[in-house]
Amino acid sequence: MRFDDLTVPIAPPKPLNQTSVTTLKGVGPALAKKLAAIDIRTVQDMLFHLPSRYQDRTQILSIAELVAGQQALIEGDIRGARVAFGKRRSLVVTIDDGSARPITLRFFHFNAAQKNTLQVGERLRCYAEVRRGQQGFEMVHPEYTVLKDAFDEPEDSLTPIYPTTEGLHQLSLRKLTDQSLALLSKGAAVHDYLPEGLLHNENLPTLAQALLTLHRPANTEAIEALTSGEHPACARLAFEELLAHRLGMLQLRDLHRKLQAKPLRSKGDLRHKFLSQLPFQLTGAQQRVVTEVIEDIDNERPMLRLVQGDVGSGKTVVAAAAACEAVASGVQVALMAPTEILAEQHYKGFCQWFEPLGVRVGWLSGRLNAKERRDSQQLIASGEVRIAIGTHALFQVDAKFAELGLVIIDEQHRFGVDQRKALRDKGMQGLMPHQLVMTATPIPRTLAMTSCADLDYSAIDELPPGRKPITTVAISEKRRPEVVQRVAAAIAEGRQVYWVCTLIDESETLTAQAASDTAELLAEGLPDASVALVHGRLKPEQKDLVMSHFKSGAVDLLVATTVIEVGVDVPNASLMIIENPERLGLSQLHQLRGRVGRGEIASTCVLLYHSPLGHDARERLAAMRETQDGFVLAERDLALRGGGEVFGTRQTGLVGMRIADLVRDRAMMPSVVTAATRMRESYPEHVKALVVRWLGTRAQGYGSV
C-alpha cells in the first residue's frame, strides 16, 4: 500500500500530537472514551499504537486447499443460510467455490441485520481459522465481506491485528489508522526528531516509512520479522524509544546537578583513623570507589552515585569511609536499609567502627516502642547523633535532622522513588544532601545504560582476598536423603546450614507453609540438630530473634524463604540448600548463594531441583555452576528473563518499554548512548519532545528530582 492509496480527510492545522483523535471520521464521545482506555487520545497516539501481530489475507485459497488449523482467506457463493437450534442457537451459512465440498460458516452471536445480509446467492470473502466439523470444514465467526464486484481484489498488504479493549473492534482500528496514515502522507506533522545523518549511519528508515510499513506491510514482508521486532521498521522505533528513555534519565541528572549541596571537605584524619583500625586492607576496587565518592562530595553539586558490588565485595566499608568525611565536615549521615535485619546489622557494625572514634551512632526503626522512638528522634534532631541508621522510619514526617549532609541507601532498588525523595528532602534548608546508593544486585550493562543514566556509577568489581570460591552443584530432588546426610555431616563438624524453600506461587502464605513443613521434616530427620524457621509472615521482632540466634550459633540449621536474600553475615554458615531453584532467576539465586562463603572455610551451595527441567531452567542452573561473577550472571538473567524481572519485581520502573526490548535490542545501546550525546549537543530543542512522545505522563517525573 502507498500513501496515495489512502482516503484523505481534511488535514487539521495542528501537528498530529496536538490533534484530537475526535477529528477522525467516526470518532464520537463513546469511541473516544474506548480509545482513551488504551492511551489513544491524539492522532499521533493512533499512529504509535502498533499491531501486535499480522495476518496474510492477500492470497485467496480454494476450499480444496484448506488444512485444519490454518488461518485462511476464502471466497465463494452462499448456498444455504439457516438458524440452527441445538445446545446453542447459531446462524449456519454454507459457501461453495466449486473446488470441493462447501464449507460451513457458524455464528453463535448474530443479529437480524446479519441474517438479512447473508442470503443465498450473495458472494462472500471470509477469513478465519479452519476447523474440522461434523459436516466437513467450518469457520466460526469469520470476518467477512459481501462482494459487490466480481473483480474486487483482495488486500495488497498484510492485515494488522492491534491490541484492543472491550467494544473496540479491529475493523474500527484499521479504519482509524488508515485516516491517520493519510494525514501523515499529506504532510501533517509527526516530527522525525532523529537527524538524517544518524538514520543513515544506523541504516534506519524515516519515521514515516517505519510507521507505514508497520501498519500496512506489503505482502512481501516477512511476518516473522515484523512480529519478532527484528524488521528494520521495528528497529527504527525501538532505537527512538531507547533514546528517549536515556535522554529522560539524563534530563533528570541535569536537574539534580542544578541543585546546591554543602561541599564535604576535611583533611581526612577521621577516615584514616577508621581505616587504620580495620583488621584488613581495602581492595584496589574499594580504594578506587572511595576516591570517586570523596571527589564527588567535595562539591557544591549534590552527589548522586550508584555503587554496585557483588555480595561480599565490601560496599559497607566504602559507605563508612564516606560517612567519615561527612562527619568530619560537620554534617549528619543517614543510612537507610530495606529490612530491620539488614538495618540492625549496619547499626551494630557502625557502632563497632565509630564509637571508638567518638562518633555517636543512632538507631531508628518501626519496632522501637514510643519512648525509645521519641528519644532516638530527639537525639537525631539535636545533632547529637551524627550517623542515623534505620529503615523507612528515617524518612517519616516526624523524623527530623539537625544538618543532614549525606544519605546512604542500601539495596536502593527496594525503595520507591517517593521514599528516597522523602529522605533526601530532610537535608539542610536550601541545600540537598549528597546521595550514595548501593546495590548487591548486579545491573546488566544494557539495563544500566537506560535505567541508571541519571546516576554516576562505580563498580566494586573485586572481592577481598582470602574469600574461598563457593562450590555449586545441582542435584535432583530424588536424592534428597543424600542431601540431608550432607547437612548432618556439616552440622557434626560445627558448621551451620541454610535450607531455602521457594514456591512457584508468590503467595507468602503458601511459601511460609512449605517452609514450615520442611522445617518439621528436617527436625525429625536431624534430631541432634537445632532447627529454626524464618519467613516473611513472622513479625519483625520474631524474625530478628531467629536470625540473631542463627548468627550467635545457637541454631544449626535455618529453614527460610527467600526473606534471607538480603540478610545477616554469618561466617560459620558454609552450606546452603536451595529447593526448587528452577523457579528463581539468576540474580536472586546468586544473592541467596552469597549468604554462604563469608568465612575462611570452603562453602557449598546445593541446587535441589525438581524434574523435568525446562530449557531456561537448565540454562540457569548451568550458569550458576559455571560462574560466581554476579555481573556475568546478571547479563545471562537479562537474556533469559528480560529486563522486567532482573530485580525480582517490577517496582523499579526500569521497564515499561512499548516497542524496544532490552534483550533483543541490546546491540543498539552503544549507538543509543552516542546518539543521546549528539542530540543534547546539536539538537537540544528535540530532546524534550522526544521524551514526551515516548514516556507521556511519565516524562513529568523527570522534573521531580
The pLDDT of residue 151 is above 70 = no
Could you tell me the fold of the domain covering 269-460? Rossmann fold (3.40.50)
Which tens digits make up the pLDDT trace of 527-555? 999 999 988 778 877 887 888 899 889 99
Residues 431-451 have a mean pLDDT of 78
Contact (Cβ atoms closer than 8 angstroms) between residue 354 and residue 361: yes
**Are the C-beta atoms of residues 453 and 250 closer than 8 Å to each other?**
yes
Q: How far is CA 516 from CA 114, 471, 508, 520, in A?
A: 61, 27, 12, 6
Question: pLDDT digit string (tens) for 56-98?
Answer: 888 899 999 999 999 999 999 999 999 999 888 999 999 999 9
| Closest by CA position to 346, among listed 370, 315, 303, 313 | 315
Strand partners, 604: 471, 575
- For residue 416, pLDDT beyond 90: no
Q: What percent of the chain has pLDDT over 90?
A: 52
Residues 6+ apart with CB under 8 A from 378: none
| Helix, strand, coil percentages for the chain (3-state, nearest 5) | 45, 20, 40
523 pLDDT more than 80: yes
On whether the CB atoms of residues 398 and 370 are closer than 8 A, the answer is no
Strand-pair category, 496-500 with 456-460? unpaired
Q: Which positions ≥6 away from 336 have C-beta within 8 Å?
A: 343, 389, 390, 391, 392, 394, 395, 407, 408, 409, 410, 415, 423
End-to-end CA distance of the chain: 46
The per-residue pLDDT for 491 is 96
Q: Which residues contact 641 (CB under 8 A, 6 or more apart)?
A: 585, 586, 616
Contact 604, 575 (CB under 8 A): yes
Averaged confidence pLDDT in the chain: 86
Q: Where are the domains of the chain?
A: 3-54+162-228, 59-154, 269-460, 470-627
Of 417 and 190, more confident: 190
Q: Which residues contact 508 (CB under 8 A, 6 or more apart)?
A: 535, 536, 537, 561
Q: What gap in Å lies between CA 26 and CA 664, rounded to an integer?
A: 38
Neighbours of 99 (CB within 10 A): 13
**Averaged pLDDT, 661-678:** 88
β-strand pairing of 71-84 with 123-129: antiparallel
The C-alpha cell at 479 is: 536424592
Mean of pLDDT values over 272-298: 94
Q: What is the pLDDT of residue 187?
A: 65
Q: Give the pLDDT of residue 577.
A: 96
Confidence category of residue 6, pLDDT binned at 50, 70, 90: very low
User: Model confidence at 9, in pLDDT bands (50, 70, 90)?
Assistant: very low
DSSP string, 317-369: HHHHHHHHHHHHTT-EEEEE-SSHHHHHHHHHHHHHHHGGGT--EEEE-TTS-
| Average pLDDT score over residue span 267-290 | 93
pLDDT over 50 (residue 653): no
Nearest CA-CA partner of 357 in 291, 266, 268, 277: 277
Contacts within 8 Å (CB) and 24+ apart, 368-377 = 368/393
Looking at residue 82, its pLDDT comes to 93
Look up cell 545504560; give the residue. Answer: 449
pLDDT reported for residue 641: 64
175's grid cell: 479504519
CA 634 – CA 451 distance, rounded (Å)? 15
Confidence of residue 575 (pLDDT cuts 50, 70, 90): very high
Question: Tens digit of pLDDT for each residue in 191-226?
Answer: 889 999 999 999 999 999 999 999 999 988 989 899
Is beta strand 131-133 parallel, antiparallel or unpaired with respect to 136-140? antiparallel
pLDDT band for position 2 (50/70/90)? very low
Query: Average pLDDT in the 605-626 region?
Result: 91
pLDDT at 119: 93
pLDDT of residue 566: 55
> Nearest CA to 390 among 322, 460, 443, 337?
337
Give the pLDDT of residue 551: 87
Query: Looking at residue 7, what is its pLDDT?
Result: 44
Measured CA to CA, the distance from residue 290 to residue 287 in angstroms comes to 5
Per-residue pLDDT at 522 exceeds 50: yes
Beta strands in 573-697 (DSSP E): 573-579, 603-609
Q: Which CATH number fits domain 470-627: 3.40.640.10, 3.30.1330.10, 3.90.100.10, 3.40.50.300?
A: 3.40.50.300
Beta bridge partners of 55: 159
Question: How confident is residue 4, by pLDDT bands cut at 50, 70 and 90?
Answer: very low
Whether residue 410 contacts residue 333, with contact meaning beta carbons closer than 8 Å, is answered with no
CA–CA separation, 254 and 659 (whole Å): 26
Q: What is the pLDDT of residue 344?
A: 83
- As a whole number of angstroms, the distance between CA 266 and CA 542 comes to 42
* 564 against 102, higher pLDDT: 102
- 532 vs 556: CA distance, rounded Å: 8
Please enumerate in sequence order all residues whose Cβ is within 8 A of that of 5, keeping only pairs 6 or more positions apart, or say none.
none
CA distance 33 to 38: 9
Q: Label residue 327 exposed, middle or buried (CB < 10 Å: 0-12, 13-18, 19+).
A: buried
pLDDT tens per residue across span 297-313: 999 999 989 898 877 78
How far apart are alpha carbons 225 and 214 in whole angstroms?
A: 11
Given this model, what pLDDT does residue 645 score?
Answer: 42
Q: Does domain 59-154 have CATH number 2.40.50.140?
A: yes
Cis peptide before 442 (omega within 30 of 0): no
Query: For the sheet containing 136-140, what is the strand order?
Result: 131-133, 136-140, 103-107, 90-96, 71-84, 123-129, 143-146
Phi and psi angles of residue 32, each rounded to the nearest 5 degrees, phi first: -60, -35
Mind giving me the DSSP string for 555-595? -SEEEE-GGGGS----TTEEEEEEESGGGS-HHHHHHHHTT
Q: Measured between alpha carbons, how far is residue 218 from residues 56, 166, 213, 230 in Å?
A: 10, 29, 7, 16
**pLDDT-derived band of residue 511, with 50, 70 and 90 as boundaries?**
low
C-alpha–C-alpha distance, residues 163 and 145, integer Å: 22
Position 256 pLDDT exceeds 60: yes
What confidence score (pLDDT) does residue 134 get?
Answer: 83
Displacement of CA 556 from its chain's centroid (Å): 37
**Which pLDDT tens digit goes with each residue over 396-413?**
878 899 999 999 998 755
At residue 457, what are phi and psi to the nearest 5 degrees?
A: -130, 135
The confidence band for 345, taking pLDDT boundaries of 50, 70 and 90, is: confident
The grid coordinates listed for 551 are: 548468627
pLDDT in tens, 372-393: 999 999 999 999 999 999 988 8
Q: What pLDDT is attached to residue 3?
A: 41
DSSP 191-254: ---S-HHHHHHHT---HHHHHHHHHS-BTTS-HHHHHHT-SHHHHHHHHHHHHHHHHHHHHHHH
**Helices 340-354, 315-328: inter-axial angle, 10-degree rounding:** 60
Would the CATH topology of 269-460 be identical to that of 470-627?
yes
Residue 652 pLDDT:
39
Q: What is the pLDDT of residue 420?
A: 57
